[in-house]
Chains A and B, each alone.
Chain A
Amino acid sequence: MSRQAEPLFWIEDLSKTYDMGEISVRALHDVNLQIHQGELIVMLGPSGSGKSTLLNILGGLDTPTGGSIRYQDHNLTEATEKELTEYRRQHVGFVFQFYNLIPSLTAKENVEIVTEIARDPISAQEALKLVGLGDRANHFPSQLSGGEQQRVAIARAIAKRPDVLFCDEPTGALDSKTGIVVLEALSKVNQELGTTTILITHNVVIGQMAGRVVYLHDGTISEIQENATRIPPSEMSW
C-alpha cells in the first residue's frame, strides 16, 4: 500500500486536559498528525511533553477532551468503552517500558492470552520464534532477563497481527546492548509484517530508525522530521 493512500490515523486539533479537582492539567493541545499504513514513527520529547498521553489516546486506552481522532473509518473521539475495547482487541498491539508480563503465566501463555482472543493470530510459538525466544517458551517471567521479557512482550503484541503497534519506551528499562536487540525485533516486525509502528522514547538516537520523527514539547507537536534513510538498530549506539 502506498504512503499517499488514505491515512491510517487522522488527528485534528487534539487536546487532553486532566481534571484533578481544583486544578486542571493540560496534557495535550492543538495536535495535528496523520499516520500512514506501514510507517515507523518515533515520538521524542522530554518527560511531561505529552507523548504518553498521545500514545494512550492513539491506542484507545484513553479518550481526548477536544479535537478529533480517526482510525480508518472508526471515530475514536466518540467511541464508547465497548467500541474502544473492540478496537484494541482487533487492531492494536502494545509494548510497555516495564514489559508488564503476567508473572503467573509462562512466556508462551503470556502470548496466548492475546492469541486466544484475536481473530487471525499467528501461533504463540511462532511469535516467540520471531523475537528469537522459541526455546524459552515455557519459562516464567521471573526466569527471563529484562531483554528477554521485553521480547516476550513484543511477541505478545505482534502475535495477533495488529495493524498498529504502540511501544512506550520499550528500551527504557534495558541496557543499550539489550535495547538494540529489542529494537531489532521491532524493526523486523515493521518490515516483514508491514505493521505500522509508533514508538515513544526520550532517547534521540532511536529516532534514526524511524521514517518520521515527531517531536513533542509542552503538550503539542513542535516539529516533524522526515528521515531520508533509516538506520538499522544494529548500527546505533548510545
Chain B
Amino acid sequence: MVKQPLHDSPTRSRFQIPALFKKAFRDILEQLSMVVVISMMIMVGAGLFTTMISTLDSLKTTQEAYYREYDFAHLFASLKQAPVSVLQDVVEIPGVRQAQSRIVMGGNVELDSYEGAIRGLVISIPDGGQPALNKLYIRDGQLPQEGSTHEWVISDAFAEAHTLEPGDSMSAILNGRKQTMIVSGIGLSPEYIYQGNPGTIVPEFERFGIFWMNQSAMEGIFQMKGAFNQLTARLTRQADEPQILRQIDAILEPYGGLGVQPRERQASHFFITEEMRQLERMSSIIPVVFLGVASFLLSIVLNRLIRTQRGQIAILKAFGYSDREIGLHFVIMVMVILLLGLGGGILFGVWLGLELSELYAEYYRFPFLHYRLDPSIFLITALVSAIAAFAGVLRAVYNVVSLTPAEAMRPESPVLYRRSLIERMGLQKWLDQPMRMVVRQVSRHRFKSTMSVFGVGFAIALVMVGRMSEDALDLALDQDFRKSQPFDLSIQFERAVSPSAEYELARIPGVQKTEAFRTVAVRFSHGHRDRLSSIQIFPSKHSLQPILDVTGKKVELPIDGLLLTESLGEALRLHPGDSVWVELLESGQEPVLMRVDGFMNRFFGSSGYATFESLKYLIPNGTALSGVVMEVRDGEEASVERVLKKWPLVAGITSTRGIIDLFYELTAQTWLITAFFVSLFAGGAAFSVVYNNARISLSERSRELASLRILGLTRGEVARVLIGEMWVVILLAIPIGILLGWGLTWLIIESLQTEMYRIPMNISSETIARATVTILLTAMISGVIIRRRIHKLNLIEVLKTRES
C-alpha cells in the first residue's frame, strides 16, 4: 500500500504544531512550578467536588434502593403495651397502607471473649418469616426457625466486631433471666443503617448490638402474650401524614403511647439525612475554596506573563495576528493547566469517592453499595473548574487584546515613584538605601503587592480551614464530654428506679462518688409548634454533671422552671420567660405548663434541663432515677464494670473517656492526612506566589540590581532588596491571611449548623501557629532559591540587554 501524504503543499508536507502553540507550551514550561501548583489546586478542587458529589449520589441511590427493597416504614410509634387487636384500628386509618406491631426490649449480652458490658436492643419478628416492614437483609445464615426460643439474628456490625458466625452462642439477660442464645443469622435492617448507642457520638459496635427474635419467644420472655409495644407503618403516596400522626397518637394514648415519630425524626434516617445534607453543603464550599485559590493564582501568573510579554504580543499584532488568535494562545495555556488539573482531579475524585463511599458503608450499615458515578458529574466538575480558571484570566486576556500594536511596542511607561507613606511619616531615617528601595517597590506596585499579599494570605487561610473540623470537634468534645462529664462511668437503668439504687451503687468497692440523673421523654409544644425531646433532670447540687454552655461557663439550673438548649428554643420560637407545654410521654397524664428560664448553647443534642426539686410534683414517681454517674478510683474501672454487669436493672454502662478515645482513634488518622495535604498545597501555593514574585522581579529589575552590584554593593545586599520585598509581602500577608482564614472558617461552619448539633467556631492558637510556620518556612525556602539566582546574575550580560 502506498501511503499518501496528507498535504502535498511543499511548505507544509506534514502536520505541524503551529509555532504559536509551541510558544504557549514553552511559556508553560517556563512557569512550571506555578503551573504545577495551580494544576494541583484545580485537581484538589475538582477532585473533592467529584468525590463529594459522587459519594452523595451513591449514598442517596443506595439509601433509596435499600428503603424501597426492604420496606422501610414511614412512622414509628412506641407505647407501654397494647393488645395486638389495636393494630387493626391503625390499619383502618385512611392513608395507612401497612402496619406492623412488634415488641422491642432492651437486654444485656455476655460474651466469653469480651470483658465489657454489651447492650442489646431486642426486636421481635413474625415467627419463621420476615416482618412486613423493615425487612431484614440476611448476610449470612437464616432467620430463626418457627417456634424457636433460643435463636436470633444479630446485627452485622456487632457480629463483625466480635467475629461471630451463625451457630455461635452467647448468654443473654432478658427480662432479668439469663439464657443461652444461638446466632441463626447475621442481618442488617434499613432501620439501623446508623447504629448509634443512645448517648454516644460514635457507633460502638463492640458494646451495642441489635438482635431479632421470634415474636412468640419474646411474648413468652417478656410476658407480653398477644401484646406489642412498638408499631411501624407505611403510608400511601397521597396520605396526609400530620393527620395520621394525630390519629395514631389518639389510638395509642390509652396504652401509654410515647408519641409517633415520622421517618424524618427516626434516629438512623435522621443521621444519614444530616450527613448527606452536610456533604451537599460542603460540596458547594470546600472545592470552591481550592478552585478560588487556583483562579486567583492563575490570574497572578497570567497578568505577569502578559506584562513581561508586551513586546512579543506587539510583534504578533504587527505581523497580522488577530486579537482572537493572540487571546486564544493565552487561553490554550489556561486550558492546559485546566486539563492537567481536571484530569488528575477526576481520577483522584473517583478514587477518593470510592474510598469514602466504602467508609460510609462501613460506618453506616448498608447491605450493598451502589457506587454511582453519573457522567454528568464530570461535566459539572469541568464546567465549575473552567469557570474558576477563566474567571481569573479574563481580565488579563482582555488587557492584551485591547492593547493597540504601537502602544504595545513601547515599553510600559515608567511608574511614578513617590516617597512612600513610611517615608512621608518621617521614618526614613530608620531605613537604609536597600530597605528604601524595598519599601518604594512595594508601595509603587500597589496592585501587584496587594495581589501577592492576598495570594499568600489565601495560603494561610487554607491551612486554617484544613484544621477547622479538628479544632471545632476538639472544643465540642472538650465542652460537651470532657468538661461536662467529669465522671468515669455512667450507668443507665432498664427503667426508672427508686433513689435507693444510688446508695447501693455507691457501696461498690472502687466507687468514690455518685450522682443520680433522670431522663424523661417529653413533647414540648408552643403555639402550633412541637418537638419530641427529653428533659435531663439533675440534683440541685450536681458536680459530676456540670451544665456548661458553649463558652465553657457553668450554667446554674433554676430552682423551678426549665432551661432549654438554644436550638430547641429556636425551633419552638420561645423566649426567656415564655411558658411551654410539657407532655410527659411515659405517664400519659395531661400536659403541664412550665416556665422557660433561659437558654443555653450546647454543641450536641437538644433537650431541656431541670432539677429533681422542680419536677418532683409535676411528674409521677418524681424522685425515681434513670441512671447514676460515678467517679471510680484509678485503675478500678474494669472491676467496677464487672460488678455492674451482674446488676439486673443495668441497661447500659458507658465510659466517657472510652467514647472520646474511640472517636479520636476513628478520626485522628484522617485528620493527620488531611492536615498534611492541605499544608502541602497551601505551602505550594504560598511558595509559587512568593517565589514567582521574586523571580519576575529579578528578571524585570536585573539591570537595576546589576547596576547596584557594579556600584559596589555585595551580593547579600542586593539579595536583600528582593528578599526584603518578599518579607514585606509575607509579613503583611500573615494578619490578612489569619483574617481570611477566620472568615472562610466562619462561612463554612455557619453553613453546617443543624438543629441536632452546633459546630463551634474555634480557631486554636495551634492552628494559627501552624499556618504561620508553614508560610514562614515557605518564605525561607524561597529566600534561599532567590539568593542562589542572584548569585548567578551575570553583570556584563545583564547590562548589555535592552532596557525596558
Contact = CB atoms under 8 A, between A and B. Distances in A.
A215 to B, nearest CB: 23
B674 interface: no
A114 B319 CA distance: 7
Contact of A104 (B26, B319, B404, B405): B26
B315 A102 contact: yes
A194 B405 CA distance: 27
A8 interface: no
A61 B409 contact: yes
Interface residues of B, number: 29
Contacts of B321: 85, 89, 117
Nearest to A53: B406
A104 B320 contact: no
A98 B802 contact: yes
Nearest to B309: A102
B713 interface: no
B319 A88 contact: yes
Residue of B10, B22, B314 ringed by the most chain A CB atoms within 10 A: B22
B316 interface: yes
Given A89-B320, A109-B22, A116-B18, A123 B315 contact: no
A19 to B, nearest CB: 13
Interface in A91-137: 92, 94, 96, 98, 100, 102-105, 109-110, 112-117, 121-123
A45 to B, nearest CB: 18
Contacts of A102: 23, 312, 315
B223 interface: no
A231 interface: no
Interface in A54-71: 56, 59, 61-62
Interface string B26-55: 110010000000000000000000000000
Residue of A90, A103, A123 ringed by the most chain B CB atoms within 10 A: A103
B318 A104 contact: no
A92 B405 CA distance: 14
Contact of B318 (A81, A88, A98, A103): A88
Nearest to A62: B406
Kindly state the interface size class of chain A when it binds its partner.
20 to 34
A104 B11 contact: no
A110 B19 contact: yes
A173 B802 contact: yes
Contacts of A94: 315, 318-319
Contacts of A90: 320
B16 to A, nearest CB: 8
A82 to B, nearest CB: 7
B19 A112 contact: yes
Residue of A87, A98, A112 ringed by the most chain B CB atoms within 10 A: A112
A86 interface: yes
Contacts of B569: none
A140 B314 CA distance: 20
A82 B317 CA distance: 11
A21 to B, nearest CB: 12
Contacts of A104: 22-23, 26-27, 30
B180 interface: no
A85 B317 contact: yes
A87 B320 CA distance: 7
Interface in B311-365: 311-312, 314-323, 325
Contact of B311 (A100, A121, A122): A100
A88 B320 contact: yes
A105 B315 contact: no
Residue of B22, B404, B405 ringed by the most chain A CB atoms within 10 A: B405
A163 to B, nearest CB: 13
Contact of B312 (A61, A100, A173): A100
A89 B319 contact: yes
13 contacts: A61-B406, A85-B323, A89-B319, A89-B320, A89-B322, A100-B311, A102-B315, A109-B23, A112-B19, A113-B19, A113-B319, A123-B10, A123-B11
Kindly list the 3 A-B residue pairs having the minimum CB-CB distance in the complex, ordered from nearest. Answer: A89-B320, A104-B26, A88-B320
Given A92-B318, A102-B23, A117-B325, 19 more contacts: A59-B318, A61-B405, A61-B406, A62-B406, A85-B317, A88-B317, A88-B405, A89-B320, A94-B315, A104-B23, A105-B19, A105-B23, A109-B19, A112-B19, A113-B23, A113-B316, A121-B11, A123-B10, A156-B319
Interface of B: 10-11, 16, 18-20, 22-23, 26-27, 30, 311-312, 314-323, 325, 404-406, 409, 802
Interface of A: 56, 59, 61-62, 81-82, 85-90, 92, 94, 96, 98, 100, 102-105, 109-110, 112-117, 121-123, 156, 173
